[in-house]
Amino acid sequence: MQHLLTEAQEMPTAALDYAQGVSEVRTPEHLVPLREVVRRQHRSELTALFAAVNERFGATEPVIGVFYAAGEMAVMAEVGRSDLEPQDRRLLRQLWAVLRHAQSGPDEETL
């Protein structure tokens, strides 16, 4: 899961803007058991990923929970990759991927 730590460290600043527009992040009901396994058995990986996010953006950032939720689901995708349906893997990685590829909009001064 080292790649997730690297991705967290390289997360663009524009991801903060995107995260501000996220009102809720939910784990699909059928994946809640996997979430519980990840929380129990992969706590150290989650802690390391959250620390990388904190290092990148600061733990006091108001939208930091969006990054934690996206990171948790990315870890779920890694842990369950051999057992998950492809669409579930994509769903679990979706928010993390969107945050990773967030781009700033046009500069208002140039409009």
Query: Could you report the per-residue pLDDT of 56-81, keeping only the tens digit for each?
Result: 999 888 999 999 999 999 999 999 99
Q: Give the Å distances, CA to CA, from 81 to 26, 37, 45, 76, 110.
A: 19, 13, 16, 8, 44
Q: Which of 50, 61, 60 is nearest to 13 (CA)?
A: 61
pTM, two decimal places: 0.89
Query: Could you report the per-residue pLDDT of 1-15, keeping only the tens digit for each?
Result: 899 999 999 999 999
Q: Please give the Cα distance from 109 to 89 (Å, whole number).
A: 40
